[in-house]
Amino acid sequence: MRLAPVLLAGALALAGCGKSEAPADDAAASGEAAVETPAIAPTAAMGEQVFRRCVACHTVEKGGSNGIGPNLHGVVSAPVASKPDFSYSGAMKAKGGVWDEAALDAYLKAPMKDVPGTRMAFAGVIDATDRKALILYLEAQSK
């Protein structure tokens, strides 16, 4: 008697053990759109971790020096391109407005798309939770 086919059949049978059907999605079953809920709410502490991507070009301390990019202390609710001791690109000067949450979110998501011609050579913060956390961190540093 050949043992290999018997062992193969046993292995295949065992491979299916312990698996259960995925639970039905009530929203999908009812035709409703599912709402994505973040696992955790963004916090300023999380934003501090995200800001580590920014420290090569920016500082955030009150009275801190500019780097390749401007010091970001007080940036939340400040007019765009308003640090008097930083040389902004023409595109940034032309943007106008105020760095409120919506403006920061759009810019941080895709800086070069939001302000074509900006000198900020950074792809952006793709994750919405990370962007919100970063904005909360910048807001906390503005006080």
Kindly report, residue by residue over 18-76, the tens digit of the pLDDT.
Answer: 433 444 444 444 455 444 455 689 999 999 999 999 999 999 999 999 999 999 999 99
pLDDT grade for 15, boundaries at 50, 70 and 90: very low
Output the pLDDT for position 8.
40
Amino acid at 28: A
Predicted confidence band at 142 (pLDDT cuts at 50, 70, 90)? confident
The reported pLDDT for the residue numbered 48 is 97
Q: How far apart are CA 137 and CA 51, in angstroms?
A: 8
Find tokens 């952006």 and name the residue.
124
Alpha carbons 105 and 129: distance in angstroms, whole number: 10
What dotted CATH number matches 44-77+89-141? 1.10.760.10
Q: Region 94-102: what's the mean pLDDT?
A: 97
Question: How many other CB atoms are found less than 10 A from the CB of residue 103?
Answer: 16
Tell me how far apart the alpha carbons of residues 5 and 8 are, in angstroms, rounded to a whole number. Answer: 5
The pLDDT tens digits of the residues spanning 100-112 come to 999 999 999 999 9
What is the predicted pLDDT for the residue at 89? 97
The CA distances from residue 16 to 4, 13, 20, 139, in Å, are 19, 6, 9, 52
Give whole-number Cα distances, 41 to 67, 131, 132, in Å.
31, 12, 9
- Quickly state the pLDDT bin for 10 (edges 50, 70, 90): very low
Q: Is 90 exceeded by the pLDDT of residue 2?
A: no
Inter-helix orientation angle 128-141/101-109, to 10°: 130
Task: Give per-residue pLDDT as tens, 107-128.
Answer: 999 999 999 999 999 999 999 9
> Domain limits of the chain?
44-77+89-141
Q: How many CA atoms lie within 13 A of 25 on its CB side?
A: 8
